[in-house]
């Protein structure tokens, strides 16, 4: 998919399929699932009948059939717009599902039989427990766990990430996904799913909306809308005899129009689309939500449990500081440490050179092209470089360098042990540097906090989300990293069962908890959390326990997913506020129009100065219809989310969508009245 296509709100294919869906969804069997819009459909059917049989309700009069027809047409368009909104949301999901389906091919698999021989079978024939062999260039036929071998696997068909990942038997990187490709070596896989139940099958089903169920908040809001609809229906039903008593003859189509304008049709039309679009936004972020409830729960998260390594920190020990021993100038330590690391391609070596450059020491590697680089080995526990002038520079563990210098009859600085131990107590790794028989100082290596995380944690704190870091480090190291990252709390020397206890403790306080994980030992905690995000690179057990899977295997993505969940709830709340506020203007448009003839004093409520009763009713009804497509982009993209407290957020939304929801229809209905009133005069209405 090109960047241009990604930016498109709606493609030509989605547009045409959505138009078709708008008509096919008119079936009463489908519409009854949305009670608010079902009432609109019943009103449309009633008005259509009145066009041809006005005498059924003694609803006869000059040009009344034409008036009924216009109302019926507007109601029909309202239904089409509502169905179009839902179809657009579904179409965007199905477009993604089609992309995933291209990945799902009926490939051939080498099935290993009990006697060790191979048999070529279709991937659709594989069942749980079968053993298959996959070689270089072949597609992995189904989900499974590697039981033998090691290979590089290209997962770009699913994750979009071009770099292959290494998969091997044992550990947390033994899980493989059907549809990915082995690009080197070979692996034996034990199939973990039956046909039709693979991870890719679940992804396709969820993305295209086939398995989407209404979430608790969606059900609650739907119940509210149905309740309001019932209340307004009762009001309208009692209005008819009241009008008759006042000798005001109200056409049935006018009562239908009043009903449709007063019930929450706008949010009723968009509610399903908002829910589908919420899951769509998560999917476009390369996260597969295995339930709509999980996406919604993200918006309610109060506490986030985060692993330190790989989530808060890079997981690689990087150079953080140079600490010289007494009698040695810091510049000399930095210079020799940099020389020793020029040809060291490890994260430690590269970071040492980068830190030296930041401190003003820049070397030209060509000046040392004839020097001999000494690689690190497990036995020597040191690396370094031998220069052409005979200088030998080494860096390594304290014990190794001390032994090396002693063998050269060098002296050990009195403050060396103190500096090495202070770094170790902080959870860092000390690398001692020497030039020939002279020890210069120590490179302080530490697990570095990812840039930008403190600011992101601060954003979460502003919206009331507490962050807790879990780490196996000692309390001193944990406290240091926690302070640097800006998390609210930490659990040191954390074991898998400690994570579960931490989650249960927060949940007992009524908190909604989210966490990430990738290993089998994380599975119980992922299952216990309200929002569990498993890494796609992790084990099958972790993915099955979680209710979300991150295809990019980026543990920090939980931060964005929570914001998407917040945006979903805010979008739903904002559009509900806007829809309810719309009704205020409709009251001032329709109520005076109905009763002004019998009660002239009611005209004082006609503050918009609408030209005639029929124009007022039709203008309100037209506005009620056309506001739906105007709000579709907002429902799809979501209301812009800004981290702030719940009270400030409520105030902001009431100001923008509450006040806006009142003002917008006043302007819209008046403009429509100006446009249609001459036409209605011409038609004699």
- d(C-alpha 259, C-alpha 356), whole Å: 74
Our answer to whether residue 307 is catalytic in this structure is yes
Query: Which has more confidence, 271 or 207?
Result: 271
In tens, the pLDDT along 11-28 reads 787 788 889 989 999 999
Query: What is the residue whose two structure tokens read 């294919």?
Result: 13
CB 204 within 8 A of CB 101: yes
Q: What is the dihedral of CA 259, 261, 267, 269, to 10 degrees?
A: 80
Do the annotations mark residue 381 as ligand-binding?
yes
pLDDT for 207 beyond 60 = no
Spatial CA neighbour of 584 closest among 654, 656, 655, 662 = 662
Do the annotations mark residue 378 as ligand-binding?
yes
- d(C-alpha 552, C-alpha 161), whole Å: 7
* Given 130, 307, 550, 583, the catalytic residue: 307
Burial of 640 (0-12, 13-18, 19+ CB in 10 A): exposed
CB 14 within 8 A of CB 92: yes
DSSP state, residue 411: P
- d(C-alpha 402, C-alpha 383), whole Å: 14
- Report, as an integer, the average pLDDT of 180-191: 88
- Report, as an integer, the average pLDDT of 364-381: 87
Q: At what angle do helices 557-595 and 453-462 cross, to 10 degrees?
A: 40
Q: What is the pLDDT of residue 409?
A: 92
Do the annotations mark residue 380 as ligand-binding?
yes
H runs (alpha helix) in 26-111: 28-31, 35-52, 64-103
CB 593 within 8 A of CB 610: yes
In tens, the pLDDT along 262-319 reads 888 888 888 877 877 777 777 777 787 776 677 778 888 889 898 887 678 876 788 9
| DSSP notation for 422-446 | HHHHTT-EEEEEEETTEEEEEEEEE
Spatial CA neighbour of 221 closest among 180, 174, 261, 268 = 268
Do the annotations mark residue 53 as ligand-binding?
no
Do the annotations mark residue 273 as ligand-binding?
no
pLDDT for 397 beyond 60 = yes
Contacts for 82 with CB less than 8 Å, ≥ 6 apart: 34, 37, 40, 265, 268, 269, 270, 628
- Report, as an integer, the average pLDDT of 457-469: 86
- Report, as an integer, the average pLDDT of 650-663: 84
pLDDT for 454 beyond 70 = yes
Q: How confident is the model at residue 419 (pLDDT cuts 50, 70, 90)?
A: very high
Q: By percentage, how much of the chain surpasses pLDDT 90?
A: 25
Lowest mean pLDDT: which of 40-54, 57-71, 618-632? 57-71
Spatial CA neighbour of 545 closest among 565, 572, 517, 566 = 517
- d(C-alpha 294, C-alpha 292), whole Å: 5
Do the annotations mark residue 145 as ligand-binding?
no
Q: What is the pLDDT of residue 275?
A: 75
Do the annotations mark residue 518 as ligand-binding?
yes
Do the annotations mark residue 616 as ligand-binding?
no
Do the annotations mark residue 348 as ligand-binding?
yes
Do the annotations mark residue 344 as ligand-binding?
yes
- Report, as an integer, the average pLDDT of 445-474: 84
- Report, as an integer, the average pLDDT of 226-239: 86
The enclosing H or E element of 109 equals: strand 108-112
3-class DSSP assignment, residue 272: helix
Spatial CA neighbour of 440 closest among 396, 407, 409 = 396
Based on its alpha-carbon atoms, the radius of gyration of the chain, rounded to whole angstroms, reads: 34
Do the annotations mark residue 201 as ligand-binding?
no
The sign of the dihedral angle between the CA atoms of 401, 403, 404, 408 is positive
Contacts for 40 with CB less than 8 Å, ≥ 6 apart: 75, 78, 79, 82, 260, 265
């Amino acid at each position: 998919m090109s960047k241009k296509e990604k930016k498109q709100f709606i493609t030509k294919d989605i547009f045409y399929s959505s138009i078709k869906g708008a008509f096919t969804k008119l079936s009463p069997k489908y519409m009854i699932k949305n009670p608010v819009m079902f009432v609109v459909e019943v009103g449309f059917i009633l008005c259509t009948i009145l066009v041809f049989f006005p005498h059924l309700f003694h609803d006869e009069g000059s040009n009344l059939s034409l008036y009924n027809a216009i109302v019926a047409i507007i109601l029909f368009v309202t239904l089409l717009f509502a169905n179009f909104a839902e179809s657009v949301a579904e179409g965007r999901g199905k477009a993604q599902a089609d992309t995933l389906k291209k990945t799902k091919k009926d490939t051939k698999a080498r099935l290993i039989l009990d006697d060790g021989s191979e048999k070529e079978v279709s991937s659709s024939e594989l069942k749980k427990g079968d053993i298959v062999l996959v070689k270089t260039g072949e597609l992995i036929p189904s989900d499974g766990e590697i039981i033998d071998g090691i290979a590089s696997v290209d997962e770009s068909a699913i994750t979009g990430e071009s770099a292959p990942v290494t998969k091997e038997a044992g550990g947390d990187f033994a899980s493989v996904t059907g549809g990915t490709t082995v690009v080197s070596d070979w692996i034996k896989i034990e199939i973990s799913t039956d046909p039709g139940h693979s991870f890719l099958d679940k992804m396709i089903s969820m993305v295209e909306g086939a398995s989407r169920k209404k979430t608790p908040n969606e059900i609650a809001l739907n119940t509210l809308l149905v309740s309001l609809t019932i209340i307004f229906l009762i009001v309208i039903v009692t209005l008819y005899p009241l009008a008759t008593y006042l000798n005001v003859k109200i056409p049935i189509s006018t009562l239908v129009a009043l009903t449709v304008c007063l019930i929450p049709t706008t949010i009723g039309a968009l509610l399903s689309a908002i829910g589908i679009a919420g899951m769509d936004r998560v999917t476009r972020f390369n996260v597969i939500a295995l339930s709509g409830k999980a996406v919604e729960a993200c918006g309610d998260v109060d506490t986030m449990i985060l692993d330190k390594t790989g989530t808060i920190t890079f997981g690689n020990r990087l150079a953080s500081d140079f600490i010289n021993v007494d009698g040695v100038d810091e510049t000399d330590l930095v210079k020799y440490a940099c020389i020793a690391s020029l040809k060291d391609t490890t994260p430690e070596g590269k970071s040492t050179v980068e830190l030296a450059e930041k401190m003003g020491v820049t070397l030209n590697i060509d000046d040392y092209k004839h020097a001999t680089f000494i690689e690190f080995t497990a036995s020597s526990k040191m690396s370094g470089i031998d220069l052409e002038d005979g200088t030998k520079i080494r860096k390594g563990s304290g014990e190794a360098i001390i032994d090396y210098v002693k063998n050269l009859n060098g002296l050990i600085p009195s403050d060396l042990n103190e500096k090495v131990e202070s770094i170790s107590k902080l959870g860092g790794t000390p690398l001692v540097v020497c030039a020939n028989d002279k020890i210069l100082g120590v490179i302080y290596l530490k697990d570095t906090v990812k840039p930008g995380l403190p600011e992101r944690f601060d954003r979460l704190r502003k919206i009331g989300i507490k962050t807790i870091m879990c780490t196996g480090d000692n309390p001193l190291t944990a406290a240091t990293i926690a302070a640097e990252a800006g998390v609210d709390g930490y659990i040191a020397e954390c074991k898998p069962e400690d994570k579960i206890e931490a989650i249960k403790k927060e949940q007992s306080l009524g908190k909604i908890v989210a966490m990430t994980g990738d290993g089998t030992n994380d599975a119980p905690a992922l299952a216990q959390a309200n929002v569990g995000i498993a890494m796609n690179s992790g084990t099958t057990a972790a993915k099955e326990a979680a209710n979300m899977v991150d295809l990019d295997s980026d543990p920090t993505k939980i931060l964005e997913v929570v914001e998407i969940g917040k945006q979903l709830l805010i979008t739903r709340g904002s559009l509900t506020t806007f829809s309810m506020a719309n009704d205020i203007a409709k009251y001032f448009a329709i109520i005076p129009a109905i009763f002004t003839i019998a009660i002239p004093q009611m005209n004082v409520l006609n503050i918009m100065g609408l030209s005639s009763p029929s124009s007022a009713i039709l203008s309100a009804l037209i506005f009620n219809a056309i506001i739906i497509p105007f709000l579709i982009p907002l429902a799809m993209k979501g209301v812009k989310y800004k981290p702030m407290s719940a009270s400030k957020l409520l105030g902001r939304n009431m100001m923008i969508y509450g006040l806006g929801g009142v003002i917008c229809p006043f302007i819209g209905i008046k403009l429509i009245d100006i446009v249609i009133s001459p036409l209605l005069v011409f038609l004699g209405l």
